[in-house]
Structure 1
Amino acid sequence: MDQIDRERLKEVLEFIRSHAPRPVLSSLEAELAVIEQYIVNARAPRIALVGRRGSGKSSLVNAIFGAPLAETGAVLSTTAAGTWYQYEGPNGSLEVLDTRGLGEGERPAGATEEDAVAENLKAVRDRCPDAILFLVKAVDVDAWIQNDLEQVAALRGAISRRHGFEPPVIGVLTQVDQLAPADVAEPPYDDPEKRANIRLALEKLAERMERLLDRPVRVFATSAYMRYRDGVRVVDRRWGIDELVSYLVETLPGEAQLTMGRVAGVKAAQTKIAGALIQSTASAAAAVAATPIPLADMPILTGMQVLMVTGIAYLAGRRLSREAALEFIGALGVNVGAGFALRELARGLSKWLLPGGGSLVSAGVAYWGTYGLGQAAVAYYIENQPIEAARKLLEQSRDRIVKKP
């Protein structure tokens, strides 16, 4: 995110905090913290990929981005040490700890430690992963992976001691296209035998992980195979990646969720993040509007709504800036002045409910007006619906306000 954009968004948030009525500020702070975490503090997710050589770590990175960003090794181990990489895609970046592969047949060139675990532990001293993905080839789930899981537990323990945070460990079954029957290589793998083998492999991986890690775990079956020719993707057999990404979005810290949803472009995950942001913003708006201080609520409400629309636009691949919100508001046909973008919208909502267009926006008007605006932004940015559909959602919120007793 551009530092200028971040500073501008911080200014909006600080304005809200400094001008919110004192009676409501304490109850408002929890919702503002959510908004701040999602938007102002947005950063790249940090993911540690752990697995044996050939388990498909680089392929998984490529599958998440949908682009050949990470180098893959066909025969020899290509990761000499636990190393952090920042992969830049069209819509953002991921920080990936590409660990030295477990169970290597020979020590990679450039490795400084004989033991892969020692190399990997060094990599987490100064940077804390948000999550650990333990990758196992589907055809190897019956192999001896006890030592691999012990090394995962050691890595998690080192992170906990160093950073005071115990990252979740997620099991990823890779290369499910190689499970029998081999001739069923194209997703969605509707063949009953193939489905049964995938299910059995998942059950075995979950059982082994839970036994060693002493807690329930989530496991996902995936295929990340893609092939490119002259920079053009000619084969795409990705399967299960969206489900994995959606769970990652739920599991990551709030400040990393927005970028994860944006990078992967999974609409279900983006909609879930947007829903949480809309709920917090609408609740905050209602709390402010319920305080009977004429005219004091208007700029605060509009500031929160600008932040909400900005976050949703960013999720969908737009620049994280107030300009993105202004673009959307202009497309809605709302009159945008030089000050807060949504002042006219808030005034319009008050006219729907209050005779004569009173200046104080009620809690119900503020909540449903903000909620409707958020739903309109989701429709326009994430679902790629025309602006007319977004306007209709806003009108539905207006109708809900009018029908309230």
Structure 2
Amino acid sequence: MSAEKDFSADVSAILGKAFAEFQKHMEEDKESNRLNVLVLGKSGVGKSSLINAVFGKDMAETGQGKPVTRGFEKFGDDNGLNIFDTRGIESENFEETISDIEKFLQENVAKGSAEDQIHIAWLCINESLRRVEGEERVLEILKKEKIPTIVVITKAQQDKDEKGESFREKVIEILKINHEDCIRTRAVEVSDDEGEIKKIMGIDTLVNRSYLLLPEGKKSAFAKKQHYNKTMRREALKEDAFSKVKYYTAAASTVAATPIPFSDFAILLPTQVAMILHISKVYEMEINQENATKLITALTAVAGAGYAVKMGVGAVLKFIPGLGSVAGGLINATVAGTTTKLMGDAYIEFLDNKFMDNVLTPDFVLKNLPIFIEQK
């Protein structure tokens, strides 16, 4: 019983230090992870369906937004995604709505904080209505504030009317925009009168164009947060995760800059645990005390049996191909960095291998990571 208490105390102490290191680096990452998207259009244009199609979650459900200023609601998650949704741009109260949009954007610029800047805007027009009313004024405001903007034709069913005239071409002509910045979309599948299913369309084009128009420093954030282009997201997550490994590898090497005895290997554990927590967060797992404990338990497979706290030196060395033993029974910066990097790389390989299955949770990691490592 005493040993179990000691073990629990050790885990608690390690978790405390790991959380502190993890949260410190998360704070440093906060700005680069933030993505602010402004979505505008008339009521019923399909903004919520568009948002959900791109970002892969029901974040734009009615009543779920948080009012941020008159005429605007904000939807988001705890990973830095913020969607600003305007009330409908209707003929009724049109001037008031336009004034609200101008004020909202000007106030954000005046704050001078990167946190408040809009990174891209989607101006939505319903194809079935076949009218452009007021969108010119809105687009003028967005251009004035130098916000990259895509005109999104929503609920696309039939571009050409009975006279053979293209609604998309009409929109492009009226708004005086480039063809590539006017995209027809259908955010949900629909069936016509004959029962034919019309599939989702145009979302891939919207995602790719948004990525190109975004400021360089926001491309990665968008690639990670959008869920429609799974290949784009997978590569962006992996790239970000490897950057975390690089950061924590350097941190572990610094800890062992002055060689430490094998018996003191636990000094490295908070850094290594923080790395695993951070990589898990990159892959949008919920990180709390319970889940962190599950992830630590799963790590026993990454570095060998008994890793969690009282990891034997042999397990660490066994995990480093060709290392064998270290002279003098000391862990230096190279050993500390190598073990940390191998641990992070193995964890990313596991997550990437399972990415397309859409099953990544701490419980799944706890159950399947040991099997994955054992089969390598």
- Which interval holds the TM-score relative to the shorter structure? 0.5 to 0.7
Structure 1: unaligned runs, 5 residues or longer: 1-5, 15-31, 73-79, 109-113, 158-167, 183-196, 212-216, 228-234, 396-405
Structure 1 pair 280/353, CA: closer, same or farther in 2 (3 Å)?
same
Q: Which residue of 2 aligns with 1:401?
A: none
1:51 aligns with one of 14, 23, 41:
41
Please say if 1:223 is aligned against 2:223. Answer: no
Out of 131, 135, 138, the residue aligned to residue 123 of structure 2 is: 135
1:83 alignment partner, one of 62, 72, 76 = 72
Q: 1:317 to 1:279 in 2, by over 3 A?
A: closer
Report the secondary structure of 2:260's partner residue: coil
| 1:295-310 pair list within 5 angstroms | 295=260, 302-310=269-277
Q: Distance in 1 between matches of 2:294 and 2:215?
A: 25
User: How many residues of Structure 1 are paired with residues of Structure 2 in the alignment?
Assistant: 318
1:50–1:99 Cα contact (<8 Å) kept: yes
**One-letter amino acid matched to 2:278:** G
**How far apart, CA to CA, are the structure 2 residues paired with 1:202 and 1:340?**
69
Distance 1:132 1:351, change over 3 A: closer
Partner of 1:148: 138
Alignment partner of 1:349 is 2:316: no
Bigger Cα Rg = 2
Change (3 A) 1:116 1:236: same
Asked if structure 2 preserves the Cα contact closer than 8 Å seen for 1:84 and 1:98, the reply is yes
d(CA) in 2 for partners of 1:343, 1:266? 43
Would you say the 8 A contact 1:375–1:390 is kept in 2? no
**Does 2:285 align with 1:314?**
no
Deviates further, 379-388 or 48-57: 379-388
Could you tell me whether the CA contact under 8 Å between 2:350 and 2:369 is conserved in 1? no
Q: Deviations over 1:304-356 (max 9, x none)?
A: 44333323323444212433532542465743556499988654434742445
Asked if 1:372 corresponds to 2:345, the answer is: yes
Secondary structure in 2 matching 1:178: coil
Distance in 2, Cα, partners of 1:293 & 1:209: 61
Whether the 8 Å CA contact 1:292–1:360 is kept in 2: the answer is: yes
Contact 2:301 2:370 in 1 (8 A): no
Per-residue deviation, 1:272: 0.9
Indicate yes or no: 2:304 matched with 1:329: no
Q: Deviations over 1:214-244 (max 9, x none)?
A: xxx97655321368xxxxxxx8943344665
**Kept after mapping to 1: 8 A contact 2:47/2:124:** no
Q: CA RMSD in A?
A: 5.4
User: Residue 320 of structure 1 aligns to which amino acid in structure 2?
Assistant: I
Which one of 6, 12, 22 corresponds to residue 21 of structure 2? 12
State the SS of the aligned residue for 1:289.
helix
1:382 aligns with 2:332: no
| TM-score, with length taken from structure 1 | 0.56
Alignment of 1:173-188 (within 5 A): 173-175=152-154, 177-180=156-159
**Cα deviation per residue 1:126-153 (whole Å; 9 max; x = unaligned)?**
7824423222437469888543321213
CA–CA distance in 2 between the matches of 1:354 and 1:318?
35
Q: Does 1:238 align with 2:208?
A: no
The worse-fitting range, judged by mean Cα deviation, of 360-369 and 50-59 is 360-369
Structure 1 match to 2:85: 98
Using a 3 Å threshold, how does the CA distance of structure 1 residues 292 and 67 change in structure 2: closer, same or farther?
closer
Please give the alpha-carbon distance, in whole angstroms, between the structure 2 residues aligned to 1:267 and 1:348: 35
Q: How does 1:58-77 map to 2 (within 5 A)?
A: 58-63=48-53, 64-67=55-58, 69-71=60-62
Counterpart of 2:5 in structure 1 is none
CA distance in 1, matches of 2:140, 2:369: 53
SS at match of 1:177: coil
Percent identity, aligned pairs only?
Answer: 16
* Cα offsets for 1:261-292 (capped at 9, x unmatched): 46848643144133223134226515753875
- Quick one: which amino acid aligns to residue 362 of structure 1? T
Once the two structures are overlaid, the 10-residue window that deviates more, 132-141 or 307-316, is 132-141
